[in-house]
Amino acid sequence: MSILAAQFQQLSALLHRTRGDWQLAPFACKALPWPELAPALMAPNEAQLDALDEDDTAALAFLAPFRPDMVAAHDFQLPELKRAADYATPRWSNGIPGRKWAQIRDFAANITTEHPILEWCAGKGHLGRLLAQQDTQPVTSLEWNADLCRQGEQLAGQLTLDHHFVCADALSADAAQWFRPEQQALALHACGELHLRFLRHAAAAGTRRLALSPCCYHLIDGEHYRPLSAAGRQQNLQLDRQSLRLPLQQQVTGGERVRRLRHIELTWRLAFDELQQSLTGSLDYLPLPAFPKRLLSGDFADFARWACEQKSLPVPDSIDGEHWLQRADSRRLLVKRIELVRHRYRYLLELWLLLDRALYLEEQGYRVSLGTFTDRLNTPRRYLLQANKT
C-alpha cells in the first residue's frame, strides 16, 4: 500500500465517522445538532465567532477537547512545492491581476518542459504563453470561447511563439483526441467535470506527464460524486453537490468589504426563508441560487420580491423588511455556530478528493505527488497534483 493510499484509508474512516459534523445543511438546522458542544459553542458572541472561523489554528484549538481525532488529522499537511524566482510582469501580461499572475508563475515553476504541452481549459493561454517562451516545446491550448482563442493567438503571433489554439468544448467526446502519449498535459484551476475529463482522457491516452490544480469540485455531471479510484469507490462518502461545495467555503482575500457582504447575504437568505415559510406553510429550508452581489446593495424588500419570482412564489403586496430581518438574526448566529465546526472539515474533505484523484492515477500506472504550488494569500485552491507515467 502506498503512502497516499494509507492516508486515504485513515481519512476515509474519519470522515465516515464524523459525517454528522460536516454532511449537513446549516441553513436547515433549527437547533445545534451536537448537545455536547452547546456550552462551548453558545459562549462566543458573533464577533468572536467570526474571528474564530477566520483563524483555523485558533478554531482547531477551540475544538480540540471535543474533536481530538479531527484536529489531529490536520497534522497531515501537503509539502510546499517550488515557487517562482520572481513575479516580474512582462508587457504581454498587462491586465492579469497580481494574484492570478503569481499563481501562473508558481505553477509554471513546477513544470519541466520535456514534451509538447497541452493546456486544458486555457482561457487566453497565459500559462501556455509563459511556458512557450521558457522552452522550445510547442504548446497547444484548448479553449471553448472563440474570442479568447483569437486573443491568445494574436498574443502568440506578436511574440512569434510556437503556441496554437484549438477552439473546442472540453466536455465533448471529441476533446479526447488532443491527448497524446508523448505529451505533457496541464490544467490550472480546471473546474469539476472539466478536470475529471482531463484525468480520464490523459490516462486513456497514456499521456506521459500531467499537472493539475483542481477547482470547483461541485460542478459535476449528476447530483452525486462518483469516485475515480477503486479505493474511493470502496470508501464512497456519498458526496452530493452541497458537500462538494464545502472545500470552497474559504476566503483568503477580500478584507472588510467581503465580510460585510457575506454578513448581509447570510442574513437576507435566512430572512427570505422566514418569509417563504409564512407564504407556503412549509418548515423546510428553501435554498436560493447564487446571485449577483449587486442585489445586496438595495432594499431587502426588493431582494425578497426577486427571490419570490425565482422560486415562483406569490409576491406579497407589502413586505416588512425589518420584521423578517429580525427573525433572521437568531438563525444567523445558529448557522455561524454550526459552521465553526463544519468549516474545520474543509481541508480534510478536499484532501480526500485530491487523494481519490491521485490514487486513480496510481491505478493507471502513474507515479504521483501532491503539494501546494503557491502561497495561501494568492488562492485557497493551491494544490497541485503531478503524475509521471512509469
Predicted confidence at residue 232, as pLDDT, reads 97
The string of pLDDT tens digits covering residues 73-99 is: 999 999 999 999 999 988 888 889 999
> Distance (Å, rounded) from C-alpha 304 to C-alpha 155?
46
The string of pLDDT tens digits covering residues 310-336 is: 999 999 989 999 999 999 998 999 999
CA dihedral 60→64→68→71, nearest 10 degrees, is 10
Residues whose CB is less than 8 angstroms from the CB of residue 234 and which lie 6 or more positions away in sequence, other chains included: none
Consecutive H or E run containing 118: strand 117-119
Segment 106-119 shows an average pLDDT of 95
Model pTM above 0.75? yes
262 grid coordinates = 457575506
The string of pLDDT tens digits covering residues 201-240 is: 999 999 999 999 999 999 999 999 999 999 999 999 999 9
Phi, psi of 188 (to 5 degrees): -100, 110
> Distance (Å, rounded) from C-alpha 190 to C-alpha 170?
10
DSSP 298: S
In which order are the strands placed within the sheet that holds 383-389? 163-167, 139-143, 117-119, 184-191, 209-215, 383-389, 366-372
**Burial of 30 from C-beta contacts in 10 A (0-12 / 13-18 / 19+):** exposed
> Distance (Å, rounded) from C-alpha 281 to C-alpha 320?
18
Segment 180-199 shows an average pLDDT of 97
How does residue 250 score in pLDDT terms, banded at 50, 70 and 90?
confident
Consecutive H or E run containing 154: helix 146-158
How does residue 252 score in pLDDT terms, banded at 50, 70 and 90?
low
Residue 368's beta-bridge partner residues? 387
Residue 66 pLDDT > 80, yes or no?
yes
Phi, psi of 388 (to 5 degrees): -120, 135
How would you classify the pairing of strands 117-119 and 139-143? parallel
How does residue 249 score in pLDDT terms, banded at 50, 70 and 90?
confident
DSSP 324-389: HHHHHHHHHHHHHHHHHHHGGGHHHHHHHHHHHHHHHHHHTTEEEEEEE-S-TTT-S--EEEEEEE
How does residue 340 score in pLDDT terms, banded at 50, 70 and 90?
very high
CA dihedral 299→301→302→305, nearest 10 degrees, is 160
Predicted confidence at residue 251, as pLDDT, reads 64
Three-state secondary structure call for residue 215: strand
Are 111 and 186 within 8 A, CB to CB? yes
Residues 105, 111, 112, CA angle at the centre, nearest 5°?
A: 135
Angle between helices 346-363 and 3-17 (to 10 degrees): 140
75 grid coordinates = 497534522
Percent of the chain exceeding pLDDT 70 equals 99
Residue 253 pLDDT > 60, yes or no?
no
Predicted confidence at residue 274, as pLDDT, reads 95
* Lowest-confidence pick of 138-147, 169-178, 181-190, 247-256: 247-256
> Distance (Å, rounded) from C-alpha 270 to C-alpha 10?
37
* Domain parsing of the chain, residue ranges: 3-58+255-344
> Alpha carbon of 294 to those of 261, 291, 315: distances in Å?
10, 8, 21
Predicted confidence at residue 175, as pLDDT, reads 96
The string of pLDDT tens digits covering residues 30-64 is: 899 999 999 999 999 999 999 999 999 999 999 99
Phi, psi of 139 (to 5 degrees): -120, 130
CB neighbours of residue 307 within 10 Å = 24
How does residue 153 score in pLDDT terms, banded at 50, 70 and 90?
very high
> Distance (Å, rounded) from C-alpha 285 to C-alpha 144?
37
Q: What is the mean pLDDT of the chain?
A: 94
Residues 360, 362, 365, CA angle at the centre, nearest 5°?
A: 115
